[in-house]
Structures are given as structure tokens and as C-alpha cells.
Chain A
Amino acid sequence: MDRRQFLKSTTAALTIAGVGVAPWRSAQAQAGPIKIGLLAPLTGVVASGGKEMVEGVQFYLDQVKSEMAGRKVELVIEDDASNPDTALQKARRLVEQGNCHMLIGNLLANTGLAVANYVKGTGTPYFIPIIAADDLTQRRRIKNVIRVAGYSASEFTHPLGDWALKQGYKKIATISQDYTFGHEQCGGLAQVFTEGGGEIVQQFWHPLNTADFSPYLGQLADLKIDAIFAMETGADATRFIQQYASFGLKAKTPLLAAMNGTDQSVIRTLGEECEGIISPAHFAEGSDNPVTQKFAKEYEAKYGKIPSLYGFSMYSGVMWIDAALKKMGGKVEDREAFIDTVLKTELDGSPLGKAVKLDAYGNPIYDVYIRKVAKRADGKFWNVPVTTYPNVSQFWKYDPETYLKQPSYSRTFQGIKKG
């Protein structure tokens, strides 16, 4: 009996709360607010990134005074706890109970994939500025899942492979966290690099949260290679960069990293050991583009830290949504039209300082920077562009249809050209 009682009283309480709010709501503009459901990991393994995601969104909403296309914006924030089951639960709550017009966010690929599978059934627009899983905008695309201001995992390592060839590197070894995000980033590099005549000497896959990299670093030191490519995120990245330096490898072999390896969220806590690391990305906080500089300066003034990928991506993602809503007079209720408008919207006001558009698969096309970690005048480290690859799509120079016929990158398929 108690379970019923409990559920009933909970329902009653919720209904009363709902009734209490209702008159206030109807007193607002007839159209009512635009409700955005934000899912971010505020607890769990990637909580620090999740907090920066929320900051990015709030930073933008503060700038537009929580108003888009003349309508008030109501932001509902839910914690996905870095766990796909929780993410799914919270997504249900935002859509079914919160009546959110759209969802945005999630950090870990598994949480994003779980939510994407759910919105496939409900048709709710879902924006993923951080989730990089290739197939969400490739082989298993869902139309209402759009990667505004995000990137697919292998999108930036394709040009990095090309850049490595141009440096005259012949042999590279890779080390990566053993999960899909890592497989995909390594695959992007390995395919372009080997097709251009390079050789991937060896690939190391280590479990997430590896405390001690010395077994891998020892083997890497013995290989005859021109560079190391490391795909590390979060605390693994911090530890890897530290141990790579203390092992004396820094003086011997150049380190190429995935963009998340030298993201502000990682190098903020590091010193000299991160200087000079190369990584590819669409965003470089140390770019001399005036728009980027203005954004970085304002963000730093407000939150006391140089913006990371998380803050930047969420900020730009919400800006993208705003731009689309302006184009269609704020009619967010018309989902089909909203999704189509977002897909067609070209974003020109983002901190990147240049216009960005989506490809036919809902993934942005960027000018990709090859960045180098450098010391700022005040002693902090940031990423400064070395060179630029213009108009890079998730398919690099391949024909999309042929590219999609090859399997997705995995531990067993890295696109490595034999011979």
C-alpha cells in the first residue's frame, strides 16, 4: 500500500506545484517561453567538463538577456551523472514532464548515444555540440540529432595525418584510450597518414583511467619513430603529458595530440611540460582573430579561466539555435521547420570569427587549425594556430558515399593502407 500512497502523494504534490505555476505562466507572453533542456554531467567522472558546459550556455543566455527571437528562454538544467541510464531518464523527464522544445548537451559519447536513440522515437530536436561519435552524423544518422558547433571524432585527425606527412614524418606510433572516441580519432590519422605513404609502426590501447603510463612509454622510447600521436582525455591526458615529459621523451620525439589532449581543461593545470604539443581543432583560444580574442577575454573575465572546448562549443551551439530561431520568427513548436532551418543556418557570429555551415549530414564544416601549445605573456599556456586547413568536412577529401561504405573506425579497423 505504501508504494501507491507514496506515488499518489508525490503526484498530488507535483500537480499542486504545477497548478500553482500555471497562472503565472499564462500571464506571460501568449507564445510562452522557449524551453531548452540542458543535459550535462554535473556529477561523476567528467563533472568538471559538465560545469563548463553549463557556463558556456549561461554565458550566451546572459548576453542575449535570455531572449531569442523576441521570446523568453527558459533553461532547464539536468545532471546526467556521466551515466547513460541516468541521461536517458533525465531526457525523458525534460521531454515528457518538462515539455522542453529541444534538448542540448551531454558530454560522454555513451550518454549522447542513449539520448539520441530516445529522441529518435519522440522526434524532439537534440543538439550535440560535444558528442563526437562519428556515426551519429554518418552511418547511423538520426535527422533530429544535429551536431551544431560540434565535430565528429575523425574530422580533425584527417588533416593532422596530412600535416604529419608534410612535416616529413615517415613513422608514427599511436597511444590511445581504448574506447570508441579513441578508435575513431586514431583511425582518422592512421588512414590519411598511411594512404599518403606513412607507416603506423604500432598502436597502443590502454584502459580509461590509467595511472601509470611507464610500460607504454618504455615501449614507445624503444621504437624508431618520428612522432607519437596520443589520444587522451581528462586526467589521463594530464598524466600522460606529465609522464611523457618526465620520461625524457619530450626532448626526443615530438608529440601530436587529439584536440581534447591539449584542451584548456587539461593544460590549465600543467606547466612547461605541455609546451610545443601539436593538436588539430576548429577552435584555438590563442588565435589572433579579434572575435576569438574578444570571446576568450570576456569569458576569462567572467569565469576566471581561459575557455575550454566545452564552454566554447556550448556557447556556439546555443548561438546557432538562436540564429535559426531568428530566421523563422521563433516558431520553435514547428519541429520539422525548426530542424530544417537549423540545418540550413550558416552561423557567422561564433567565436571562431568566420562563418560555419553544416554539411548534408548535420555535421559542421570548419577551417581546421593545426595548433601548438604556447606560453602566454602571463605564463599561462594556450593553443596557438600554426597553420589552417580550410573547409574540412567530416569526410576529409573522400567522397561521402564511398567513405560511408567503409566500416566505422574501431580497434580492428583503423583504415590503415597495407604495403
Chain B
Amino acid sequence: MTMPRTPKPSRLAGMNGRAALIAATIGVAAAALPLVLSNYQVGLATEVLIFGILAMSIDILAGFAGRTSLGHGAIFGVSTYVVVYATAHAGVPPAAAFAAGVLAATLVAAIFGLLAVRTSGVYFLLLTLALGMIVWGICLRWTQVTGGENGMRGDVRPALLLTNTAFYWAVLAGAAVVTFAMWRFVRSPFGLTLRGIRDSESRMRSLGYNVPLHLFIGFTVSAFFAGVAGAMYAMFNNFVSPSTVALAQSVEGVLMMIAGGVGTLFGAFVGAAAIIALENVVSAYTERWQMVLGITFILIMIFAPEGIIGKLRAILTRKVR
């Protein structure tokens, strides 16, 4: 998990020995999880992976380009809607539906991106929020297609992945690929440019970089990954309703990212696991679990504003010295 920030030149698929070892260990441990977890907990672990991907896709923008999006829940949901619609109503095979969902999310995001890259800071936040609300409004009111408030249901998950464990492994494999892709993306020269834009837009512009174009591509790529998560979510739930594209979904993604640590990328999984576990463990004891969640966030913000992973990283580096 604690990948070095500026690694040495690539050896194994861009990873140095230690990073590759850590990645492999985590991969094996994650793959072995269904052997120790109950069926229901495997379901939860699957959800952690899916929301981890969503939170990571938000982190690409927030952590590396300095732009926090409140529209990624909607982009995620567009993919979910398209996948459910394509399999349940249009009879498209699951794999093609998956691709269609991701494509739809990317296209919607490209339109969002064109509008959003002109802004930064709180304006970016508000613009993505507004764009997300448009998607939500369409899903709610376009009853003939989206089923309105009631949403759509259908047997989306392919027969091969019907059991919780099989589906978990499939999602894990997908998550591994997607995580690696995102990791490479943020460390590529392109990703470095995004970081440059985050630190000083004017300097990058005077150095001759096309800032809006970089942001646009960054936004679209990030949305592509959110779309992948959304398509997985469609197969996880076999159901979609406007709450999947609602603002709360975007906010949850952002909170997961913040809890894990902005700019840490892998913190997203930790944040997702922490929030989903809290939701499920605490809600068994009290219906006021949202209050507990709120207090937890306040504590994280006070004692570890850099997030769980960020804090651990800071402690580790201190020890080494």
C-alpha cells in the first residue's frame, strides 16, 4: 500500500521490486478473503472494491489535478443505468452491456468535462454538482426509459458469476487491472503535468502546456474508471434507481477518498472499506449510524486531515528517519 511517491525507473511493469512485492501480497491476500469470510461479508468486500474504484477515480482529479468533482456519482450511475437497461430491456449480452455502460459514462463525462475544465476550486465543485443533478433529474423524470422513482431491475449478472465468491473474484481481477492502470496514469508524464497544473496553473501555461486540454483528458479518463465501477455495480445489484445517481452517491465517493487520503490513490480502498464497514457494523446497533459516521469524519479531519493512508505514510517516514 505504501508505494514510494517518486519511484526509480521501471523494472517490472513500471513497479520497483518492493512495490511489486507489496502489490502481489495484497492481491493474494484479497483473493484468499472469500475463504475466511461469510457469504454476506464477501458481498460487502465486493462493494468495497467497487466503491474503492469510484473513490480512486475521483482521487485522480482531486489528488492529482486539484479539482474535486461532485459529479462522479452521476457518471458512475449513468454506466449503471445503461448496463441495466441494455441487459434487462434491450437483451444485450452482459459483456457488450458492460462496454456500452462504460462508453456512455465516458461520453457523458466528455460533455461535463468541456464545461467543467474552464473552472477551478469551488466553481468546479458547484458546476460538477449541477451537472450531476441534471443526470439525476433525467433519471427521475424520464419514466418510460429509466422507470422513474422505481428504477429498473433485471438479471444483469452473467450466469457464470452468480455466486458471491465468483463475482468477488471477477471484480477483484477487474479492480487489480483498473488500479494498475490508474497508478500508471498518475505517474506518467501526463499525470505529472496534471500535478503541475494542481500546483500552479499559470506556471504550466507559461511553460507552454495546454492546460484545458490536459484537464479535459484527465476528467474523461477519470470518468472512464468511474464508469467501470458503475458497470460493476449494475452487476452487483441487478437493480438501479435514481439514488444511484443522486448527489449522495457523489458525496460518498468523495468522503471515501478523503477518509483514505487525498492524492494517495490506494487510500480509496481503505476509505471505502472504513465507510462500508462502519455503515454495516454500526447500523446493527443504532439507527443513528449516520451520526457516528459524521463524528468519525470530524475526528479524521482533526487528527488525520491527510487521511488514513496519508497519516500512516507520515508516521512511517518519521520512523525511518
Contact = CB atoms under 8 A, between A and B. Distances in A.
| A and B form one complex | yes
Interface of A: 1-4, 6-8, 10-11, 14, 42-43, 78-79, 83-85, 88-90, 92-93, 96-97, 109-110, 113-114, 116-118, 121, 133, 178-181, 183, 207-208, 410-412
A95 to B, nearest CB: 8
Contacts of B238: 117-118, 121
A276 to B, nearest CB: 31
A123 to B, nearest CB: 13
Contacts of A10: 41, 277, 281
Q: Is the interface of A mostly helix, strand, loop or mixed?
A: helix
Nearest to B277: A10
A411 B143 CA distance: 8
* B: interface residue count bin: 35 or more
13 contacts: A3-B269, A6-B273, A7-B41, A43-B290, A88-B239, A92-B43, A93-B40, A114-B239, A179-B143, A179-B149, A180-B148, A183-B143, A208-B149
B127 interface: no
B1 A2 contact: yes
Nearest to B149: A179
A207 to B, nearest CB: 8
Interface string B212-247: 000000000000000000000000011101011000
Nearest to B33: A7
A168 B52 CA distance: 62
B251 to A, nearest CB: 13
Interface in B273-316: 273-274, 277, 280-281, 283, 287-288, 290, 308-309, 312
Given A6-B273, A110-B151, A84 B243 contact: yes
A93 B280 contact: yes
Contacts of A4: 26, 29-30, 33
Contacts of B164: 96
Interface string B59-70: 000000000000
Contacts of A2: 1, 270, 308-309, 312
Contacts of A93: 40, 280
Interface of B: 1, 26, 29-30, 33, 36-41, 43, 45, 47-48, 141, 143-144, 147-151, 153-154, 162, 164, 237-239, 241, 243-244, 269-270, 273-274, 277, 280-281, 283, 287-288, 290, 308-309, 312
A113 B1 contact: no
B270 to A, nearest CB: 5
Nearest to A3: B273
A250 to B, nearest CB: 29
Given A92-B40, A97-B39, A412-B144, 15 more contacts: A2-B308, A3-B269, A6-B270, A11-B36, A42-B287, A84-B241, A88-B237, A90-B283, A92-B43, A93-B280, A113-B151, A114-B241, A117-B239, A121-B238, A180-B150
B36 A410 contact: no
A97 B150 contact: no
B81 to A, nearest CB: 13
A96 B43 CA distance: 10
B312 to A, nearest CB: 7
A2 B29 CA distance: 12
A10 B45 CA distance: 12
A96 B39 contact: yes
Contacts of B147: 180
A179 B143 CA distance: 8
A84 to B, nearest CB: 5
A2 B26 CA distance: 10
Contact of B153 (A1, A85, A113, A179): A113
Of A7, A10, A90, most B-chain CB atoms within 10 Å: A7
Contacts of B26: 1, 4
A117 B287 contact: no
A410 B43 contact: no
